[in-house]
Amino acid sequence: MATRSTQSATVTGSGVVLAVLASAQFLMTLDSSVMNVSIRQVAADVGTTVTGIQTAITLYTLVMASLMITGGKIGAIIGRRRAFAIGLVIYGVGSAVTAAAPNLGVLLVGWSFLEGVGAALIMPAVVALVAGNFEKERRPAAYGMIAAAGAVAVAVGPLLGGAVTTYASWRWVFVGEVVVVLVILAMSRKITDAPATDHGTFDVVGALLSIVGLSMFVLGVLKSGEWGWVQARPGAPTFLGTSPVVWLVLGGLLVVYSFFLWSGYVERRGGEPLVHPRMLANRQLDGGLFMFFFQFLIQAGVFFTIPLFLSVVLELSAVQTGVRLLPLSVALLIAAVGVPRLAPRARPRRVVRLGLMCMTAGILVFIGGISPGAAAGIVTIPMLLLGFGIGALASQLGAVTVSAVADSQSAEVGGLQNTMTNLGASLGTALVGAVLISSLTAGIAHGINTNTAIPADFQSKATAQLSSGVPFTSDSDVQKQLSAAGVPAPVADEIIKENSAARLVALRDALWVVAVLSVVALFLTGLVPTEPVGRRRDDAGEPSVAQASSD
């Protein structure tokens, strides 16, 4: 009887622990999707443009991506539960600052920096705390629930953000995050700590190289629409006669390469690098990491462009935009939960390929539907296809990466996995945003200059004003700006017409980039194993024969 009571208490306690860790994962993922449908309202409230909010979204994921490996190593030194708690405190402070942000600068400090730093401590700790609180045979189910929590956050984020923004204010989303953080902190005492596993010195040089390299690269992509890729735009800064973008991108890649060289040097000298380079020789791990990167890159690009079509082009409210995205959320959940249940022995490579094909098809269908006079209903089929595709990938990739190495390396894999997902998300938002603004600027400038109904003096003024970039703005907002500037009504109507046409072309151009990237990802699926993967390991911590044969 005592034994049965003890087992019951253990199950109950582990259920609480799983709920706490899953809630933390939900919160981290929610923050990346909840504001996409409210970009226009947030921009208006803090006195900035769509590009400014794009910067905040990109920097949030960039901070997480650049600090994730460092955050995992800090947890290994101070203990995972302590790192988890400290991360929650930082994240909660960031949410409070964001809720009260009066301008873009404060928003960047709260949302992009503080919340990003907090998440970089929390997410790697979650992986290790699952391992420390669950028996080996129960860990796959626990990791599956953590992944499902992230999928639910992606699913409900747009609708939640739209509803709160429409009926109250987007600021209440971040107030709610503070409340959730306090609840998680109170319940975190139930978690059994995964103690410090590394008492060596912290690799400061490696941390700086990884942070600087990743930051330079993504900042370059982010600024490409404003500064130009190689040839500097009028009014943009220059370095050695060219745009700073090309130097930031190339310099960032060189610094990241130096990081891996340094890590190898530290490892050969018997030290403890942030990343063990030999891990990246694991074909299965590489395949999972690449797919995570492309999944979140494509996902971020889609969640940046399609809400803009709904909220700016069609001028739907935030909650109406969220409702239109709901088919993607439902399909994602069905695929993420249904594939493992209905086809537990499905070949990961086949599922991943089918998922990427669904995503590509969804993007192409949406591109074909974008036309003057298009209604909101054109997004339904693309949303279903994209949702099934993303869900299919989500059902496989966690098992692919975690099962690629021994249990003792699961936390390190978690850091790499989170780095790749957040790097993909930040690059997706930055790259697609840059293409969108570049195409929009060129399209409006060409349309105005070739429109004979617009007087020559207006054309010359417009050319000068548009040279530094054009915000993605609705027709009603353009009408207000032109009226305030005293532009005659017939000329204003022509400018609005050119803006409308250029917006649709810009959206198509941005989505073509996403479609091409999804096809590129298909060429890398050969790295994903063909046989079903699990967490079966021999006593030495090596992959089982079944897993080894899939490499």
Tell me if 532 sits within 8 A of 345, measured CB to CB. yes
Q: What CATH superfamily is the domain 278-551?
A: MFS general substrate transporter like domains (1.20.1250.20)
**pLDDT tens-digit readout, 218-234:** 778 767 767 877 888 77
Tell me if 331 sits within 8 A of 151, measured CB to CB. no
Name the residue type at position 425: A
The reported pLDDT for the residue numbered 199 is 60
Burial class (CB in 10 A: 0-12, 13-18, 19+), 21: buried
Tell me if 106 sits within 8 A of 115, measured CB to CB. no
HEC string of 75-136?
Answer: HHHHCHHHHHHHHHHHHHHHHHHHHCCCCHHHHHHHHHHHHHHHHHHHHHHHHHHHHHHCCH
The reported pLDDT for the residue numbered 496 is 81
Q: Provide CB contacts within 8 A for 4, sequence distance 6+.
A: none
Alpha-helix residue ranges (DSSP H) falling in 377-523: 380-402, 410-450, 456-466, 475-484, 489-523
The reported pLDDT for the residue numbered 545 is 33
The two structure tokens encoding residue 539: 């006593």
- CATH 1.10.8.50 for domain 9-196: no
- C-alpha distances in angstroms, 103 versus 5, 97, 260, 495? 55, 11, 38, 30
The reported pLDDT for the residue numbered 11 is 43
Nearest one of 497, 493, 470, 469 to 482, comparing CA atoms: 493
pTM for the structure as a whole: 0.81
The reported pLDDT for the residue numbered 498 is 82
Tell me if 225 sits within 8 A of 469, measured CB to CB. yes
**Distance in angstroms (rounded) separating the CA atoms of residues 518 and 514:** 6
**Distance in angstroms (rounded) separating the CA atoms of residues 326 and 344:** 27
Total Cβ atoms within 10 A of residue 500: 16
- C-alpha distances in angstroms, 405 versus 60, 69, 127, 274? 29, 17, 14, 17
**Distance in angstroms (rounded) separating the CA atoms of residues 374 and 367:** 11
**pLDDT tens-digit readout, 363-381:** 999 999 888 878 888 999 9
Tell me if 453 sits within 8 A of 490, measured CB to CB. yes
The reported pLDDT for the residue numbered 408 is 61
- C-alpha distances in angstroms, 263 versus 206, 258, 273, 285, 489? 7, 9, 5, 18, 63
Question: Which is it for the CA torsion 426, 430, 431, 432, positive or negative?
Answer: positive
The two structure tokens encoding residue 354: 């089918």
**DSSP assignments along 224-262, one per residue:** HHHH-SSSPPTT---BTTB-HHHHHHHHHHHHHHHHHHH
The reported pLDDT for the residue numbered 9 is 37
The reported pLDDT for the residue numbered 402 is 73
**Intervals of the chain under pLDDT 70:** 1-13, 36-37, 136-144, 147-148, 151, 155, 194-200, 222, 225, 407-411, 459, 462-470, 533-551
